[in-house]
Amino acid sequence: MMQELVTELRKHVPFKDSTAPGDLVLIAAENPRMLVYARVEGIELDKSRKDSWWHITMHLLTVPPQLIVWTLREAQFTGREIFSMGGDERFMQAVRLEAPLAGAAEGDVAPGPSEKITPFRRVK
């Protein structure tokens, strides 16, 4: 079930191959069934284990935001491996955000007061 969801997500979401602090990650969970974004705050090696396990500190972008720490292997937090927590499957991978549009360069000037912007129209 989770593999099918991941396959479908890969068709629609531009994922990155790596994960670093500051990245936006998409997390898919089986139980409870959900898709949620989180911002990676930090990645620290778990020195208490022989293998390469990492503490991934994230802010879940929920209401209210929640700070969580998961201990995962690199293949798990980079989307190369579906993993389980408490018997429920999870998937996590960083999302590649598009660069700003070329017209939104640093030197661009915002519309002045003479340029009326009306983004909404009243419909009766």
Say how many domains are in the chain.
1
Specify the pLDDT at position 99: 67
Residue 119 has pLDDT above 80, yes or no: no
Contact 93, 79 (CB under 8 A): yes
Residue 122 in any domain: the answer is no
- The full length of the chain comes to 124
pTM of the model: 0.77
Each residue of 61-114: pLDDT tens digit? 999 999 999 999 999 999 999 999 999 999 999 999 976 666 555 555 555 555
The token pair that represents 118 in the structure block: 């009306």
pLDDT at 50: 81
Q: Which domain holds residue 33?
A: 2-94
Domain-located, residue 119: no
Q: Is residue 33 part of a domain?
A: yes
Examine residue 117 and state whether it is found in any structural domain, yes or no.
no
Q: What spatial distance separates the first Cα and last Cα of the chain, rounded to whole Å?
A: 46
- Is the Cβ–Cβ distance between 83 and 3 less than 8 Å? no
pLDDT digits (tens, 9 = 90+) for 24-47: 999 999 888 899 999 999 999 999
